[in-house]
Every structure is written in C-alpha cells, then in structure tokens.
Amino acid sequence: MECQKMTEHTAYPIFYDVEPTEVHKQSGLVGEAFEQVTRKRKRTLEDVNLEKENDVGRWKNALKEAADLAGMELKNTFNGHEAKFIQQIVQDISLKLHLIDLSVDRKLVGMETLVRGIISSLELDLNDVRMIGIKGIGGGGKTTLARAVFDHISIWFEGFAKADPFICVK
C-alpha cells in the first residue's frame, strides 16, 4: 500500500474466499490468522529486535486500506467459479496495463481519448459481434486509429494477438 501512496502504482485487491468486511474489520478467518501470527511472533520477539513487533500492525493497516479499495470477490463473481474468476482478473488487469504504444503514437494528439471512446462504444463485455465504421478524409489517421483500438482489444480474443485488424479504408 505504501507503493500506491508514494508512486503511481495501483493496488487491485482480490478477496479469495474471504469477505472484504472480514479483511477490513480483521474478523473471522482473517482475525484468527492475525492472532496466530501475533502469538508466534511474540514467542520469537525475544530473540529478534523489537522493530519486528510493528510488522503485524503495519500488515493490519495495509489490509484495512486494501479492503477499502474496490476489488474483486470470488463468491460474487461468476457464482464462485474459480477458473472464470481468475480469467476475469487477468483480463481486467491486462486491459488496464495495455496502453497505446507511445513509440508509434507519441505525436498523435487526442489519440488516447478517441481509442477509449471507441472501446467504450464497442461494449466488449457483451458476447456478440461488433463492427464500427471510421469515416474521415484521407490521411486523417483512420487506419492508425483502427490499429490502436485493435491493439487495445486484441487481448480479449484468443489467437488474434498477432493478427492485423480487418480494416477497409475508402
């Protein structure tokens, strides 16, 4: 959690067989686990420096902060289907990490806004065929825009990651 505060890192809490409220309140299985850790650490603290005593408190605070973030919960996603849950996590994080290739698009003002607009219009979460038309003057960046959109969404389609999008330019 410290990295998220001091840098531009983002935390994505995943609640796997535990309720977010249990993590925040540190009750239930989470509370029991902390009690066990605390008991074990108290026995060994005599042999180790006292700075380690603060570790459990820092862990508790970090988990409280993480529980306050929007996260994914196994039992509320795909009716607890573990494989689909993991696929969704990978897909969500991949989409958030998949940015426009700045080495190609660095000088294209407004490209990221256009790409995000098109992607939101495509409603990719629906299991259906999608097609979009891009109209404009020659040299206006239609093909570049189509490629940038494809680069962003290609991770949704197995087997097409290296393929070119189907583009018809008139």
Q: How far apart are CA 23 and CA 20, in angstroms?
A: 5
Contact 55, 1 (CB under 8 A): no
**pLDDT on residue 4:** 66
Q: Domain for residue 84, yes or no?
A: no
Residue 167 and residue 111 share a domain = yes
Range of the domain at 160: 100-170
- Rounded to 5, what percent of the chain is helix, strand, coil? 60, 0, 40
Residue 73 and residue 110 share a domain = no
The one-letter code for the residue type at 10 is T
Q: Which of 46, 78, 110 is the C-terminal boundary of a domain? A: 78
Residue 115 and residue 48 share a domain = no
Q: Which of 45, 78, 111 is the C-terminal boundary of a domain? A: 78
Contact 24, 105 (CB under 8 A): no
> 50 is written with which tokens?
């006292």
Residue 111 and residue 74 share a domain = no
pTM, two decimal places: 0.48
Give, for all 170 residues of the chain, the pLDDT tens digit.
666 666 677 788 888 888 888 888 888 888 888 888 777 766 655 555 545 556 777 888 888 888 888 888 888 888 878 888 888 888 777 766 655 444 445 567 778 788 888 888 887 767 777 788 888 898 888 888 888 888 777 766 665 544 455 555 55
Cα dihedral value 24, 30, 35, 41, nearest 10: -90
Domain tally, the chain: 2
Residue 112 and residue 72 share a domain = no
